Structure 1
Amino acid sequence: MAQMELAGMPRRLFACTPSRLAAFEDCPRRYRMIYLDRPRPPKGPAWAHTSFGVSVHNALRRWWEEPIAARTPARAVQLVRLLWVEDGFRDAEHSAAWRERAAEMVAGYVGGLDPAAEPRGVERSVAARTDALAFSGRVDRLDERDGELVVVDYKTGRRPVTEQDARSSPALALYALAAGRMLRRPCHRVELHHVPTGRIAVAEHTDDSIARHVRRAESVASDAVAATEALGAGGDPDRAFPPRPGSLCSWCDYRRLCPQGQSAGPERQPWAALGDETAPVTEPRHGD
């Protein structure tokens, strides 16, 4: 049942993470299955590309936790092997081959870093409130350079990142807003670090550009709240949360439960995204 609100009382803020907002934008039906359906429908098999990305992120987090003298490419290789996630690969040999590929990739990336440039935070939780949102998330790395904060997000997909990717990312803009407020430092620069190539895509936000991202996020939240209230009032789930068929359906955890998603694209093997050129350019979202 939709919640009653007293006249004159402020509307409850929508609690969200980057993943929650993106889930509704990508596909309202998938959003409903993840966040509203209880019990939650069973997910499909684990994805190898998710395991790959999580392993790289975990190794980089641990690398920064090492003493400065131990922050070497060789230690990065050890950490990838130590923290490797095996789920979703075709077999043990396939997993081992991608583990070594990840180790080489991470070693190359950290070889271009200054081990003594201590980040302000690694896997740092940040949060902020707006007129409509109670936003929270976890930043891969938060640097402080010349008195200003810089949001750093790691990417492990095959497609190199671009400045447009950095500029258009709602998550990075909201991270910048939250980090600046929490740590009381200017925060306008956001960076995507493409670990496979070492490429860094940069965007310099302004207060106005961050405000535009906030308005967009609040619009998504408003639509999600309206759909949830319609469902709570007894509305048809498929009308309140319609599917949004597209290329991402082949990679959806709930594809088996969605006839429209099954029609939108072929079923994929759990390891297909690692080498299939038709795989999505998006990556598993972090920060929840």
Structure 2
Amino acid sequence: MEGEPFKLSHSKIESFLRCQRQYWFKYVSGERWPAQRDTPAGIAGTGVHRAMQKLCVTGNPADGEAELDAYLRMPKHAAAGPGTEWHRLAFEWYAAGVEAHRSIEAEQSWAEQGNSVKFADISLYGGADRVDRLGPDRWQVIDWKTGRFDLGPAEDRQLDILHVVVRGLKKLPAEATVRAVAWNLRTGEQRVRELTRDDAVNQVAYLARLAKRMLAEREFAPSPGPLCGFCDWQDRCDAAAAVEVEGLDWVDEGLELAEAWEFEAGE
């Protein structure tokens, strides 16, 4: 609406960059969003994120374990409930999270930090799973991952946004440096970006230019491909309907990859 700031989030940006037709459905069309599809991987990942939040708050692994157990025992989460392979994996990932937590030497830590910061005519939304003050001018921002896939540049873009949001919310001094980490509890891999105030300034300038392009777009061209089969909007998209799906050997992997784009992006 005219006069209101343009809302930006990592999820919104990735949708625009990945498939502008999907972006149109989600953020421009005004159509009702389809019901979200829960998958075992997503249920397990969400449970681990909730457990890591409680672990960060109290420092007691038992609190996170109790949260994960209760979450996966909910009837609607039976696909990753007790006795399933996903249940076992979720507790395995949480055990890795406990070790990650113990390895961090911080003066103070916060769980699930973020909301929005405003600049120019933009409201930038983002939330970090964990923020650590490592020293007077040394900070760390963590986004926990549980997927099989390294999303590479998309993860970098997410970390850059989290850096801007946390830098604004915590009012970090100009000299403060931030270690932004996409920390995968399934694989143990860490994707790290060392960021400064100049990086935040450059990111804000980029986001302003990107927002201008997003607002000016009128065609919203589709990007049809195998992942169309896992898009929640496929039933309303003529381009998705034209994609021929051959074979089923890649379905499970494709569904998890599609979910990773959405789940790891967040809103």
TM-score (norm 1): 0.74
For residue 143 of structure 2, give the secondary structure of its aligned residue in structure 1.
strand
Are the structure 2 counterparts of residues 92 and 165 from structure 1 closer, same or farther at C-alpha, using a change threshold of 3 Å? closer
5+ long unaligned stretches in structure 2: none
What displacement does 1:284 show? 1.3
Are the structure 2 counterparts of residues 154 and 24 from structure 1 closer, same or farther at C-alpha, using a change threshold of 3 Å? same
Q: Give the corresponding residue for 1:25.
A: 17
1:47 aligns with 2:39: yes
For 2:38 and 2:239, how far apart are their aligned partners in 1?
Answer: 22
1:157 aligned to which of 129, 147, 161: 147
For 1:53 and 1:159, how far apart are their aligned partners in 2?
Answer: 13
Q: Give the corresponding residue for 1:125.
A: 114
What displacement does 1:130 show? 2.9
1:98 aligns with 2:70: no
Q: Which moved more, 1:112-121 or 1:17-26?
A: 112-121
Provide Cα deviations, 1:85-128, integer angstroms capped at 9, x if missing partner.
77687x57797320121112211321342288575321112432
Are the structure 2 counterparts of residues 63 and 118 from structure 1 closer, same or farther at C-alpha, using a change threshold of 3 Å? farther
Higher relative contact order (CA 8 A, sep 6+): 1
5+ long unaligned stretches in structure 1: 4-10, 231-238
1:174 aligns with 2:153: no
After TM superposition, the structure 1 = structure 2 runs for residues 6-17 of structure 1, keeping only pairs within 5 Å, are 13-17=5-9
For 1:244 and 1:126, how far apart are their aligned partners in 2?
Answer: 30
Q: Give the corresponding residue for 1:65.
A: 57
For 1:153 and 1:268, how far apart are their aligned partners in 2?
Answer: 34
Provide Cα deviations, 1:110-165, integer angstroms capped at 9, x if missing partner.
13422885753211124323334221221111111012221101111113577x77
For residue 113 of structure 1, give the secondary structure of its aligned residue in structure 2.
helix
For 1:88 and 1:33, how far apart are their aligned partners in 2?
Answer: 28
1:258 aligned to which of 237, 243, 264: 237
For 2:177 and 2:115, how far apart are their aligned partners in 1?
Answer: 13
For 1:267 and 1:58, how far apart are their aligned partners in 2?
Answer: 37
Return the letter of the residue paired with 1:18.
H
Are the structure 2 counterparts of residues 109 and 92 from structure 1 closer, same or farther at C-alpha, using a change threshold of 3 Å? closer
TM-score (norm 2): 0.79
For 1:175 and 1:287, how far apart are their aligned partners in 2?
Answer: 11
1:195 aligns with 2:174: no
For 1:25 and 1:123, how far apart are their aligned partners in 2?
Answer: 26
For 1:177 and 1:78, how far apart are their aligned partners in 2?
Answer: 33
The structure with the greater share of residues assigned to helix is 2
1:108 aligns with 2:96: yes
Are the structure 2 counterparts of residues 35 and 112 from structure 1 closer, same or farther at C-alpha, using a change threshold of 3 Å? closer
Return the letter of the residue paired with 1:15.
K
For 1:191 and 1:92, how far apart are their aligned partners in 2?
Answer: 27
The answer as to whether partners of 2:145 and 2:185 remain within 8 angstroms in 1 is yes
Q: Give the corresponding residue for 1:35.
A: 27
The answer as to whether partners of 2:146 and 2:184 remain within 8 angstroms in 1 is yes
Provide Cα deviations, 1:234-271, integer angstroms capped at 9, x if missing partner.
xxxxx3x22122343232111122232244463999xx
Are the structure 2 counterparts of residues 268 and 257 from structure 1 closer, same or farther at C-alpha, using a change threshold of 3 Å? farther
The answer as to whether partners of 2:107 and 2:134 remain within 8 angstroms in 1 is no
